[in-house]
Chain A
Amino acid sequence: MSKTKTEVPRGTLDLLVLQTLATMGRLHGYALARRIEQVAGDALHLSQGSVYPALIRLQQEGWIATDWGISETNRKVKFYSLTRAGRKQLAVEVETWEKSTALVARFLEVSS
């Protein structure tokens, strides 16, 4: 695969969303998508809309909570924030992620 600009791997988006909410606090959907884009820079190709299915999924799991607020364009929008359960889940996912990347890295070292 020569493409360097990747699609978001499945499941990773959840981690990105949780991590972003953990660092930024309460955000609405657009701000969240923008923030992820900014942090990722050119490394990631993200359709902004794809954060919404992830958001509803995380909300149903009870990891993020929503409330209503006013956007910069004076529209009533949903704001998302991390719940206590979400914070725990983030820790779990980060740990899993670190373990698996470490594992893959070791393999790459050995075989190179």
Chain B
Amino acid sequence: MTIGRLIARLAAILSKKRLDRELENEIAAHLELAQRDAAADGFSAEQARLAARRRFGGIEQMKEEHRDSRGVAWMDNLLRDFRYGLGSLRRTPGFTAIVVAILGLGIGANVAMFSLVDAVLLKPLPFPNPDRIVRVWEAPRPGVTNATSTLDFLDWKRMGKAFESIAAEIPLSAALTGNGDPVRLPGKAVTADYFRVFGVGAFMGRTFAPLEDQAGAGMVVVLSHAAWQTHFGGDAGILNRSAAFDGQPYQIIGVLPPGPFDRDTAQFWKPLVLGPERRSRGFHWLSVHGRLTAGVTLTQAREQMRTIQSAVRDVTPFWKRDWTIVVEPLDRLLVGDSMKRSAVVAFGAVLLVLLIACANVANLLLARGAARRKEMAIRTALGASRGRLAVQLLTEGVVLCLFGGAAGLALASLLIQAAAPVLSQSIPHTASLVIDFRVFAFAASIALGVGLLVSVLPSLQSSTADVERSLRETARGSSRAHHNLRGAIVVAEVTLSLVLVCGALLLFKSLFKLQQLETGIRMDNVITMSLSLPLPAYPTPEKAAAFYESLSGRMATVPGILQSGLSSHLPLRWIGNGEAIAVPGIPEPVKVRFKRVDPGYFGTLGIPLLAGRGIDERDRIGARRVMVINEALAGRLADVAGLNNPVGHVVRLNWPRYVATSAPEEEVEIAGIIRSERVSGPGSPDPAVVYVPLAQVPNQEIKLIVRAQSEPASIVAGIRDSLRQIDPNLPLGDVETIQQIRDRTLSGSSRPAWLIGVFASIAALLTAVGLYGVISHEVSQQRREIGIRMALGARPGDVVSQVLKKAMVLVAAGLGLGSLGALALTRVMKTLLFEVSPFDPFVLAAACAAMMLVGLLAGSAPASRAARIDPVQTLRDEG
């Protein structure tokens, strides 16, 4: 058949009515002409009509042949089945609603999960040629990500021919003033090629010109689309405006297009000027992204970086000569291993839910098939082929599933809307959660697949039924084999549910352990805020130190505040600054995390002093440099340097200058030891930390930590007022309770627990529905038998226990299989668990108990119905 003919045939199906009408006309005209000719031959009118008819041949037969030769028979049939299916579903609205709801639940959860997995793991990054975007850094050891020094970056930029463009960035924040209350905006300072690396052009105006990051260039900013909308009301004349960032007027030169940059933290970008005062090789502070030149492979780029490294070896400080330069594709870095694993486990769980939903629907269709055996038998007797009947039932199933798919798509879009704000923090900014064509195609194919899966069994079963026996049995009930099949499906459901419940319980147990995790700080009524001192207003360390002092003094007067402290990093969060201390007589420097705190910090968080003293008011600029170390560092010093009592010892430490440009080594005295506070999620030991006086090493970015007498949210307004009295242009950002910070630190581990908990509950519920269906069907089949037994003296209790026993047998079989499945499957969760073994016997026992309970609940309603059977009534009905 030619393509043209195929298209014509498909078109013919669609214009069936018109073609039929035209054929009728043609036949009528033909007969008329034939009759006229016959009459001309001398026949009477009646004889002529008959002759015309005879010579024409069978009219209906011809019409059928006409239809067959012009159309596609199977498609015609499919359409007819589709319509028939719709009709028969409309006749049983209750059944249809239940099936669509179950499928909608299963498909919806899967579609939502797919859109997440697709956005995070499958889709390429939303930039042109995303596979050419890489991150580059200098790694002291393999597997460590690190920042880059200015001079190294400039070398790479100058000599790195593998890169079409390469750019450095540092995070910053600035107070945007002039539009009502000052707001603190997170932003980035970037070198001029930054947007060319990502291949993103301006939506309005322009991005940075090639030399705009040189000293003396203008004060310009690029805004994100979201920032333009939020803070400038989407003003179309924005490019003619300037805005005050940290009190300095900046010309707005461009607005980025909506998209990935709106989901990133930064809302504005300004040029990063790498002036002479910042040119060092020892200070690592830049994040570097590059775009590989077309045709350059990752291996070639890495090779070239090695060449550059050896070229500058002579000017490289000796302590970093054995470092390596790492070039990694950006997409691989954005999605961490733990996120990947969480996504895989969650997707697995949601697939199990879908399987259970399928089992349930197959069960329902089987039950319905049993009820329709008579209908099928009659149609077989009337000449419908078994194949046709099977196909018809399949079509009905697929129609049902398409409805389920539509419901699922609706549910998924609700789920995504609800989840997007929660997830936005934990998925990379390049991923956008939307229902797009890919998700739609996934939903459609999963609905079709499910449709075929759930209706194959029932359609085979119904269509192969023996005509005669079916007609004879009438509504008596279904066969034994049929019942066994439904039982087997329920066993499978119990099996799958047990695996899910086990997984969920393991995660919850792990979550419980996490809640017990020692944080090392007092958590009650503590709230934190962040502040950023603009350089124009606070150009010197003395000014900054004076600000800290007046802020602390002011805080003491705000009603409701018990204690307050300042630090460079939030408690319970990783300390990004790393330095090294050199102990006299020890060749290897000791790597430490570097945190600046004020005199109030330890007291506010209840961190106990173990030896020496804490930070106090004496530790100002110009005074003797001191530091407090944590227990972990004291232990390290005892190990590597034999310093069993380090208090009073003097070590050498890189001591950063006020505006991060360099950190020369200085002599610092260890003044005290405090107990370690937690700075990272579970699983990693406390790092060695030095606490230096904030007043001696002032920082622009600071965190204010306040302990309130009661509910801390109530004092935020008071804090804002006091701050305004000190500096009216300084916005207060990121108000968070310590509890929220803690959840954020541990959230990577807690989110899958809730998600899989929800899935497990849905699975258990669906299983209960399936079990209920089978048991209550069985009870209604055996009314007569139960009636006879009761007439012979069985008590209601006996009947109840007999029915429940049946339910329990099914559940027990499922539990046996499920335990094996759980042991095999929960192993994949090993890395998501904290201090819980995937083979935890308590969890397995609890999950089994939960499923037994589900079985008892599902069986109890049919059991009590059985016990209420009136023997006289049943015998009369069926006798």
- A residues near B8, Cβ cutoff 8 Å: 59-60
B58 touching A49, Cβ below 8 Å:
yes
- B residues near A49, Cβ cutoff 8 Å: 27, 30, 56-59, 62
A30 touching B62, Cβ below 8 Å:
no
A56 touching B69, Cβ below 8 Å:
yes
> For the complex, is A25 an interface residue (Cβ under 8 Å from B)?
no
Q: How far is it, in angstroms, between the C-alpha of A96 and the C-alpha of B692 when the chains are bound?
A: 100
A60 touching B25, Cβ below 8 Å:
no
Pick the residue among A28, A33, A53, A77 that contacts B66 (CB under 8 A). Answer: A53
A50 touching B57, Cβ below 8 Å:
yes
Pick the residue among A30, A53, A54, A61 that contacts B33 (CB under 8 A). Answer: A30
A57 touching B69, Cβ below 8 Å:
yes
- B residues near A48, Cβ cutoff 8 Å: 30, 34, 55-57
Chain B residue nearest in CB terms to A34: B37
> For the complex, is B23 an interface residue (Cβ under 8 Å from A)?
yes
**Interface SS majority for chain B:** helix
Within 18-77 of B, Cβ neighbours of A (below 8 Å) are at: 19, 22-23, 25-30, 32-34, 36-37, 55-59, 62, 65-66, 68-70
A47 touching B55, Cβ below 8 Å:
yes
B29 touching A71, Cβ below 8 Å:
yes
B23 touching A52, Cβ below 8 Å:
yes
> For the complex, is A78 an interface residue (Cβ under 8 Å from B)?
yes
Known contacts: A49-B58, A52-B23, A53-B66. The answer to whether A75 contacts B29 by CB under 8 A is: yes
> For the complex, is A67 an interface residue (Cβ under 8 Å from B)?
no
A56 touching B66, Cβ below 8 Å:
yes
Most-contacted residue by chain B among A30, A33, A61, A73 (CB, 10 A): A30
A73 touching B36, Cβ below 8 Å:
yes
CB of B124 to closest CB in A, whole Å: 44
> For the complex, is B479 an interface residue (Cβ under 8 Å from A)?
no
Chain B residue nearest in CB terms to A57: B69
Known contacts: A56-B66, A56-B69. The answer to whether A47 contacts B58 by CB under 8 A is: yes
Cβ proximity bits A22-57 to B, threshold 8 Å, 1 near / 0 not = 000000111101100000000000011110111011
Cβ proximity bits B65-103 to A, threshold 8 Å, 1 near / 0 not = 110111000000000000000000000000000000000
Most-contacted residue by chain B among A33, A56, A72 (CB, 10 A): A56
- A residues near B69, Cβ cutoff 8 Å: 53-54, 56-57
**Interface SS majority for chain A:** helix
- B residues near A28, Cβ cutoff 8 Å: 29
- B residues near A56, Cβ cutoff 8 Å: 19, 66, 69-70
Pick the residue among A29, A60, A61, A62 that contacts B12 (CB under 8 A). Answer: A60
Cβ proximity bits B599-622 to A, threshold 8 Å, 1 near / 0 not = 000000000000000000000000
Most-contacted residue by chain A among B33, B36, B57 (CB, 10 A): B33
- B residues near A77, Cβ cutoff 8 Å: 25-26, 29
> For the complex, is B827 an interface residue (Cβ under 8 Å from A)?
no
- B residues near A33, Cβ cutoff 8 Å: 30
> For the complex, is B4 an interface residue (Cβ under 8 Å from A)?
yes
- A residues near B37, Cβ cutoff 8 Å: 34
- B residues near A50, Cβ cutoff 8 Å: 57, 62, 65
- B residues near A31, Cβ cutoff 8 Å: 33
- A residues near B543, Cβ cutoff 8 Å: none
Q: How far is it, in angstroms, between the C-alpha of A62 and the C-alpha of B36 when the chains are bound?
A: 32
Q: How far is it, in angstroms, between the C-alpha of A77 and the C-alpha of B19 when the chains are bound?
A: 13
CB of B345 to closest CB in A, whole Å: 55
> For the complex, is B9 an interface residue (Cβ under 8 Å from A)?
yes
- A residues near B341, Cβ cutoff 8 Å: none
- B residues near A72, Cβ cutoff 8 Å: 33, 36
CB of B676 to closest CB in A, whole Å: 83
Chain A residue nearest in CB terms to B2: A61
> For the complex, is B5 an interface residue (Cβ under 8 Å from A)?
yes
Known contacts: A48-B55, A57-B69, A78-B26. The answer to whether A73 contacts B32 by CB under 8 A is: yes
- A residues near B5, Cβ cutoff 8 Å: 60-62
- A residues near B70, Cβ cutoff 8 Å: 53, 56-57, 60
CB of B738 to closest CB in A, whole Å: 77
Pick the residue among B9, B12, B32, B56 that contacts A47 (CB under 8 A). Answer: B56
Other A-B contacts than A31-B33, A56-B66, A57-B70, 7 sampled, CB-CB below 8 A, are A29-B30, A30-B30, A47-B55, A48-B30, A50-B65, A71-B32, A75-B32
CB-CB nearest 7 A-B residue pairs: A47-B57, A60-B8, A49-B62, A30-B33, A49-B57, A53-B65, A30-B30
6 CB < 8 A contacts A-B: A33-B30, A34-B37, A48-B55, A52-B23, A52-B62, A56-B70
